[in-house]
Structure 1
């Protein structure tokens, strides 16, 4: 039954996340919210909702390694796995006046975790600092929108406000059930095979909660909308650290295992810097670079088992 829970949880997160984003975009359009804010808040938070529900549920239930591994692993998977797959589907053309700002915030959010993790414990104060950073970023983004792409084009919106609300409610329900199934199945499988909960969180759970990002970016790639694909990844990584991890720490204290500070967080910072360098110095992320990113993810998964 643990494998049934695991698969059911992954399926629930995928469809629940897509339904939530679809409905949220529809509501945002009806309210005439600017495209930039739709991308940063609606799509960013929408595709990160699985991470939030899984991390809070795991922390509440006394499995902090899955709560932390989910966030760190999701950010690593977003860059190496999802950007890699997206580049394979269609080479990513880099553009956007706000790219430098957004990648800077993504790297800064990763780096700020170093002193927090060094304390060995994340409490409400750490959570407040992270969430305050997210609020500051959103204000900065609102005041300097640049030429942000309309990310809401990645997913079609429902035809009416009622449909949008129903999509949001249905998506949240499916996400909550999926998150519970995924945590239950993952924890039991990890304990049954003697695999660390941290490794399960960093890989299976992290990839599972990143399914909405994967769906959004691949849809964007098939539609040749590189800005949406990259904006979705960068925005989600910012929300994962500042928003999701911050909110989780505010709700319940999280002990930080040594491996996150010594191995996984440095990897997350390194791949964030690699993505930033690629976006700011190259006109395009081609298929060969996509293969290299996927190989990097495979190497990380193999190394993470140790």
Structure 2
């Protein structure tokens, strides 16, 4: 039954997250909200809603290792797995103007998360600071892109258009509300199952958060990015992942810490948080060399993610054998 709950939880997170984004985007469009603002907020952060709700559920249920592991693991998977798969489908062009800004913010958010992890706890004041930084980033991005009307603004508008559903306001509201319900119930099932599964597999809650929970909650980003690549909109896939990772580091941990201080296990400091920072740096290096992600670099991302999972699981004894 636990594994069934896990699968149902993942399905509700994926379906609920997609319904929430499509419904809220449609409502916002009909209310006259600009495509740029919709792309920056509802789409960029909406696809991270499963991570947010799952991490809050884990923190409230006394499993902070799953909450932190979910964020770190999602940021690793978003780059190595999702962008790797997207680049393998179609080389991804990166926007110079936007990435000069977003790349710096991504590295800064990753380093800030590293510093907080080294302190061992993210308190309420730190959580508030993270949320203020996120709000400042969104406000600054919106202001600069609205004034310049550059290619990055077009990309965020394209994100909004890709998620708009041509339905009535009432159906859009139903989708949005149903999506919220699906995400909340899905997160509850997923976290409950993860807490039970961890000891059975001989895995720590941190490892379950880094793998099962992180990959599961990243499925909306995976679906969005892969479909964007198939449709020849690789820049949308790229922007989706970068925006999601920034929101994960600042918004999710900030929100969790504001509700209740989040302890950061020393288990993350031995390996995973360093991989997350290294992944962000590798993304920046690949993005600025030729201002594109090639298929070869996509293969490097995917291979690196495979090596990371092997290294992570083989250091956890029988849990690795159970999962393999």
Given the two structures, how large is their TM-score scaled by the length of structure 1? Answer: 0.97
Aligned-partner SS, 1:220? helix
- Could you tell me which residue of structure 1 aligns to residue 180 of structure 2? 172
Once the two structures are TM-superposed, the CA of residue 159 in structure 1 deviates from its matched residue by: 2.0
Q: Give the Cα–Cα distance (whole angstroms) in 1 for the partners of residues 228 and 52 of structure 2.
A: 24
Q: Give the Cα–Cα distance (whole angstroms) in 2 for the partners of residues 37 and 245 of structure 1.
A: 23
- Could you tell me which residue of structure 1 aligns to residue 169 of structure 2? 161
Q: Give the Cα–Cα distance (whole angstroms) in 1 for the partners of residues 280 and 32 of structure 2.
A: 33
- Could you tell me which residue of structure 1 aligns to residue 35 of structure 2? 35
Is 2:40–2:142's contact at 8 Å kept on the other side of the alignment? no
Q: Give the Cα–Cα distance (whole angstroms) in 2 for the partners of residues 80 and 12 of structure 1.
A: 24
- Could you tell me which residue of structure 1 aligns to residue 230 of structure 2? 222
Query: 1:57 aligned to 2:72?
Result: no
Is 1:22–1:167's contact at 8 Å kept on the other side of the alignment? yes
- Could you tell me which residue of structure 1 aligns to residue 197 of structure 2? 189
- Could you tell me which residue of structure 2 aligns to residue 240 of structure 1? 248
- How many equivalent residue pairs? 306
Q: Give the Cα–Cα distance (whole angstroms) in 1 for the partners of residues 120 and 293 of structure 2.
A: 37
What does the per-residue CA deviation read over 1:81-104, in whole Å, with 9 as the maximum and x for residues that have no partner?
Answer: 000111122221223531210111
CA RMSD of aligned residues (A): 1.3
- Could you tell me which residue of structure 1 aligns to residue 120 of structure 2? 120
- Could you tell me which residue of structure 1 aligns to residue 206 of structure 2? 198
Structure 1: segments with no counterpart, 5+ residues: none
Once the two structures are TM-superposed, the CA of residue 11 in structure 1 deviates from its matched residue by: 0.8
Aligned-partner SS, 1:33? coil
Is 1:39–1:232's contact at 8 Å kept on the other side of the alignment? no
Aligned-partner SS, 2:97? coil
After TM superposition, the structure 1 stretch with the greater mean CA deviation from structure 2, 199-208 or 31-40, is 31-40
Aligned-partner SS, 1:62? coil
Structure 2: segments with no counterpart, 5+ residues: 316-324
Is 2:71–2:249's contact at 8 Å kept on the other side of the alignment? yes
Q: Give the Cα–Cα distance (whole angstroms) in 2 for the partners of residues 75 and 122 of structure 1.
A: 18
Q: Give the Cα–Cα distance (whole angstroms) in 1 for the partners of residues 31 and 281 of structure 2.
A: 36
- Could you tell me which residue of structure 1 aligns to residue 270 of structure 2? 262
Alignment of 1:10-89 (within 5 A): 10-89=10-89
